[in-house]
Structure 1
Amino acid sequence: MSSLFTKIVKGEVPAYKIAEDSQFLAFLDINPNARGHVLCIPKKEVDYIFDLEEEVYQELMRFSRKVALALKKTVDCKRVGMAVVGLEVPHAHVHLIPLNSMSDMDFSNSVKMEDEEFKKLAESIHVNL
């Protein structure tokens, strides 16, 4: 059965897309730790990030860096943090989270955003790629 992220890749589930190429996709987390929380995923469904082929893993990190730099230009924050947890969705993914304090990395917290705010933010980050 396809993961939620595979359904997003296939267009079966909507997402606020930031960046996309032939191998990877970046989109806003709909339950963000902080405004601008982005997920970067390989399009090929692999459950555990360290099961990715070495080259795909390295390319995912390059892709994530590019998105993180655009995110930093767009969202007012001290840094963009990166986390790989892998328990929420069985599809390898990298969290990019704008940080102003350590509590922004606390996955038990979330920020509420409206659809229009998600759309505007996704477009703003995309412009900075």
Structure 2
Amino acid sequence: MSSIFTKIIAGEIPGKFVWADDDVVAMATIEPVRPGHVMVIPRAEVPKFNDVDPEVFAHAMKVAQIIANAQEKAFGVERSVVTILGFEVPHTHIHVIPAESESAANLHKASAAPAADITKAMMELRNALFELGYGEHVPEYMDAL
């Protein structure tokens, strides 16, 4: 059975995308810790990160670094942090969270956000990615790949 992320990537369920390439996508979470919180997700559905093809995982982490730079630019935070859990959805995903402190990145503080707030944050992040020179990886339409 396909994970919810596989269904979002396939366009069967709506998502808000800021990055797409042949191996990974980056999209908003509907339960952000703070504005700009995204997940970098390999297109291949692999439940455990240690089972992901090492080249794909290395690429996903590179994209997470690029997203972090864009978050710092867009949201004025000192740094961004990453965490990999995967218990709630059996499809490897890297949370990239703009934060001022460790407590600001605590996933236990995540909560549903209004769609308009998610859209606004993703537009700011997409704009920062363009400004940093990564426009070729920003999908033309935020809502579809």
* TM-score, with structure 2 as normaliser: 0.83
2:50 maps to a residue whose letter is F
- The alpha-carbon deviation at position 111 of structure 1 amounts to 4.6
1:15 maps to a residue whose letter is G
Q: In the TM superposition, what are the counterparts of 1:81-120 in structure 2 within 5 Å? A: 81-120=81-120
Partner of 1:35: 35
2:57 maps to a residue whose letter is Y
Distance 1:112 1:55 in 2: 33
SS at match of 2:76: coil
- The alpha-carbon deviation at position 74 of structure 1 amounts to 0.6
Partner of 2:26: 26
Contact 1:31–1:110 (Cα < 8 Å) also in 2: yes
Contact 2:35–2:117 (Cα < 8 Å) also in 1: no
Partner of 1:77: 77
Distance 2:57 2:69 in 1: 19
Matched positions, count? 129
SS at match of 1:128: helix
Distance 2:71 2:42 in 1: 19
Q: In the TM superposition, what are the counterparts of 1:51-70 in structure 2 within 5 Å? A: 51-70=51-70
1:62 maps to a residue whose letter is K
Distance 2:2 2:112 in 1: 27
Over the matched positions of the two proteins, sequence identity in percent amounts to: 33
Contact 2:26–2:40 (Cα < 8 Å) also in 1: yes
Distance 1:110 1:23 in 2: 27
Runs of 4+ with >3 A deviation: none
Name stretches of at least 5 consecutive residues in structure 1 with no aligned partner. none
- The alpha-carbon deviation at position 112 of structure 1 amounts to 4.8
- The alpha-carbon deviation at position 76 of structure 1 amounts to 2.5
Say if 1:111 and 1:78 are closer, same or farther in 2 by CA, change over 3 A: farther
Distance 1:110 1:24 in 2: 23
2:68 maps to a residue whose letter is A
Partner of 1:11: 11
